[in-house]
């Protein structure tokens, strides 16, 4: 009896929808990263991407605990000297709320080529509509 080893054609990828309405950002991000990496499957292998696709809706309504809405800072760098851009969480939520969830999930994925491949299976939408109905995604509740 030998251990089964997942191969590319044998990997089945499911689609999951997570509603971010009044869900704490960290709990949502850890659940989504868990699904993207495929750790919920018995065929999980650390060096093969066996994860599923994740669609997050209502990103604008995600919850931040404490005073993070006023204190949390999102940083990006333009590539030029002195090009550090700092933006508060309140402004990020108003301008591009998907970024809050994308950054949180990206930080929980591996920092490798495979991590970037996993990140490409994430779709985040500010509203409650998404164009992935044809994939028949399963609704997933985050406690």
Is 25 inside any structural domain?
yes
Residues in the chain: 143
Distance between CA 78 and CA 57 in Å, rounded? 29
Q: Mean pLDDT, the chain, as a whole number?
A: 95
Structural domain boundaries, residue 53: 14-64+93-140
Is 132 inside any structural domain?
yes
Could you report the per-residue pLDDT of 10-38, keeping only the tens digit for each? 899 999 999 999 999 999 999 999 999 99
Find the CATH number of the domain harbouring 18: 3.90.1180.10
pTM exceeds 0.85, yes or no: yes
Is 79 inside any structural domain?
no
**In the prediction, which pLDDT does 143 show?**
79
């Amino acid at each position: 009896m030998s251990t089964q080893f997942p191969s590319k054609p044998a990997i089945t990828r499911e689609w999951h929808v997570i509603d971010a309405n009044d869900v704490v950002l960290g709990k949502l991000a850890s659940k989504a990263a868990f699904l993207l990496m495929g750790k919920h499957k018995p065929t999980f292998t650390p060096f093969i991407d066996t994860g599923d696709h994740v669609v997050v809706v209502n990103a604008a309504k995600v919850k931040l605990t404490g005073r993070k809405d006023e204190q949390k800072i999102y940083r990006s760098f333009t590539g030029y000297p002195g090009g550090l851009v700092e933006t508060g969480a309140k402004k990020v939520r108003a301008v591009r709320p998907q970024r809050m969830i994308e950054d949180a999930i990206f930080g929980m994925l591996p920092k490798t080529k495979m991590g970037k491949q996993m990140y490409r299976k994430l779709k985040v939408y500010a509203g409650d509509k998404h164009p992935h109905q044809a994939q028949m995604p399963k609704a997933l509740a985050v406690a």
